[in-house]
Chains A and B, each alone.
Chain A
Amino acid sequence: MNVVVCVKQIPDPATPGEMDSQTNTLKRDGKLIMDDSDSYGVEMGLQLAEQAGGGEVTLVSMAQDGETSGLRTALAMGAAKAILVSDPALKGSDALSTAKALSKAISRANPDLILMATESTDGYTGTTPVQVAELLGLPSVTFAKKITVDGSSIKVERQTEAGYDEVTCPLPAVVTVTAGVVEPRYPNFKGIMDAKKKPVEELTVSDLGLDVSEVGSSGSRQEVFEIVAADARQAGEKVVDEGEAHQKVIEFFEQLKLI
C-alpha cells in the first residue's frame, strides 16, 4: 500500500500573520513548519501502510524557495521520501493552481491512496483536495474520521451534519482527514537523524509539464484588492469572581429578557 500524503509548509501560526501591503497576500517569509492539520494525514498514512504489511508513505508539498523544514518533520515521523514542487513562478497560486501542481506531482508517485487535510491552517479554502481528485479523475471522500482498507477499496466514516455516513470507495482515491482522527507520533531522535538522509525530489513547474501561465499569480484569476479594519468589538464589563459573579450573569440574562 503506497500512500501519498500532502504536507503544506506554512509560517508558524503561533506568530501573528501579516499581510504584504503591496500584493495583499499573506507574507510567507521566514522558516516554515509542517501544517499541524497535515500531521494527522501523515500518521494515518504510516498506520495504513504498516497495517497493509508493506508499502511506504511519500510526501508531496508545494512551497517556494526549496523549503523543506516542514517536510523533514514528516520524514522524521517515518515517511520514506518526499516530492517538493518549488518554483518562483508559483508565488501567489490560488487553490486551483495549487491543485494543478500537486496533482502532477502526486501522479509521479503512483499511489494507492492520497491523504490530505480537510483544510489548511493558513489558506483554509478546503477545496484543494477535491480539485486534485477531479484533475486526477479519482473519487474522493472528504471529512474522514476513520479509514479501513479492505483489499482494493476503503471504508470511510465520513462526518455529516447529523452524525456520520459509512462510505465505500475503490482505490486509488483522495481522502481528507479531520483533526483528531489519530494521535500523530512525535519524531524520535533516530527518526530525526534518518530524516536528514531521506530523498527529497525537487521539481519545477516545467518539470511537471505545466505552463507558468497556469500557476502562481498569473494563473490565479482572483485577487484581494483591499484590506480594511473590521468594526472592533468593544470588551464590556469584567468581573472577578469572589463567589457571587454568577449573579452578574443572571442580571445580564434578565436584561435580555432571556429569563
Chain B
Amino acid sequence: MALSKIWVLTESQNSKPISISLELLTFASSLGASLEAVTWGGTASQISEELGSYGVSKVLDAGELNGSLPGSPVASAMKQAIDAGNGPDVILIGTTYDGRDIAGRLSAKLDVPVITNVTGLEISGDSLVASHSIFGGTQIAKSRFTSSKSPQIFLVRAKTFQAEPSNSTTCGVESLPVPEIGNSGAAKIVATHVEELTGPKLDEADVVVSGGRGLGEKDNYALVEELAKLLHGAPGASRAIVDAGWVPYSYQVGQTGKTVKPTVYVACGISGATQHLVGMKNAKNIIAINKDADAPIFSVADLGIVGDVHKVLPKLIEALKSRS
C-alpha cells in the first residue's frame, strides 16, 4: 500500500501561507499522494489559488475559530474528519507555536505519537523515515513509527525543504467543521500586539547578523542592527540576550528559536552552544567574531575573526558606509 493521502497543516499570516507550510507542501507534493491543506483563520479562499500551485487539491478550512487559540478546535476538527473515515496516512506540521499545540492535542485525542524536531524526511517503502539533527548537528538520528496505526504525525522544523511551486492543480475549499469542544478550547485571544519590523524577516533573510552576550550590554545591539541594515539583512540573537531582555524572543536563533539558512550568517559575540548551532549551522557561509580563539562557533565558521566586537564591528560598519 502506498501513501494515498497527505494533510499539511497550513498557517497563514497577513493572508499569505507562511513559508514553512509551503516548504512542507513542496515535499508532500513530490510523494504522489493526494494532497490536502488544513487551515483556519478565515483566509482559506484567499490562499487556495497559491496552494493549488503547490499541488494542493483541496483546502480543509476550520474557519475563524471565534478567537480561540487554534490548538484544541483545529485538532478536534481534524479528529472528527479522521473518525468519519476521511483521514490521511500522514500529517505534516511545521514547528510553530500553533503547529506544536495542534500536533500535541491531536496526538492525545487519537492516541498516536508524534515524531518531533524533524530536519529531514524521506520515503522508504510505504512509510516515511525522519532525520533529526542531534548534538549540535554533529550526528543525525533516523527514526520511524513502529506501529502501522495512522495517521503518522510529523512535526518538521523550518528550512528542512525549499519551497517551490510544482504539480499545479485546481484547488477547492471545503469546510472542516469544528465540533463542540467545551472546556479544552476555552483559551481565547482578546488582543493582538504586533511589534514593528523593518527589513526582511529573520527566517527568510539572505543575510543574518546575530548578536550574543559578548556585546556586553543592550545598547551595543545597535551595532548588530546597523550591520544587518547595511547588508539588507535581518538582525538575530542568541538566547542569552533574549533571556536578558535585550531583544524580543522573535529574534532568537536556535533550538528554541528560529532555524535560519541564509547565504551569510554573521555571529557577533556568540559562543556557539549546540542549541545555537542547530539553528544556523546550515547557513551557506558563516562568519564569526569572538574574542576567545577557542570559542566553539569557530569550528563551523568559514571566516573566523578572533577579536573584540566593540572594535571590529564599528570599523566594519564604517568601511561599508564609505563604500555606498
Contact = CB atoms under 8 A, between A and B. Distances in A.
B115 interface: yes
A125 B153 CA distance: 13
A167 B190 contact: yes
Chain A interface size band reads 35 or more
A161 interface: yes
Interface stretch (A3-11, A82-90, A247-255): A247-255
B52 to A, nearest CB: 25
A204 interface: no
A125 B116 contact: yes
Q: Which 5 A-B pairs have the closest CB atoms?
A: A241-B307, A130-B104, A180-B243, A134-B108, A236-B302
* Among A96, A134, A220, residue most surrounded by chain B Cβ atoms (within 10 Å): A134
Nearest to B142: A226
Interface in A12-33: 16-17, 19, 24
Given A169-B187, A246-B316, 18 more contacts: A16-B135, A95-B113, A96-B113, A133-B104, A138-B184, A161-B96, A165-B192, A168-B188, A173-B187, A221-B145, A221-B149, A222-B113, A222-B144, A226-B141, A235-B301, A235-B304, A250-B319, A256-B285
A137 B184 contact: yes
Nearest to B314: A246
Describe A's contact surface by its main secondary structure. Answer: mixed
Interface of B: 13, 18, 69, 71-72, 75, 95-97, 100-101, 103-105, 107-109, 111-117, 132-135, 137-147, 149, 155, 182-195, 197, 207, 231, 239, 242-245, 248-250, 255-256, 263-264, 266, 281, 285-287, 293, 298-308, 311-312, 315-316, 319-320, 323
Contacts of A232: 138
Interface stretch (A42-50, A65-73, A139-147): A139-147
Given A96-B113, A127-B155, A134-B105, A169 B186 contact: yes
Nearest to B14: A162
B186 A139 contact: yes
Contact of B312 (A170, A180, A236, A241): A241
B256 A167 contact: no
Contact of B306 (A127, A133, A240): A240
A16 B136 CA distance: 11
A230 B306 CA distance: 27
A228 B140 contact: yes
A118 interface: yes
B104 A131 contact: yes
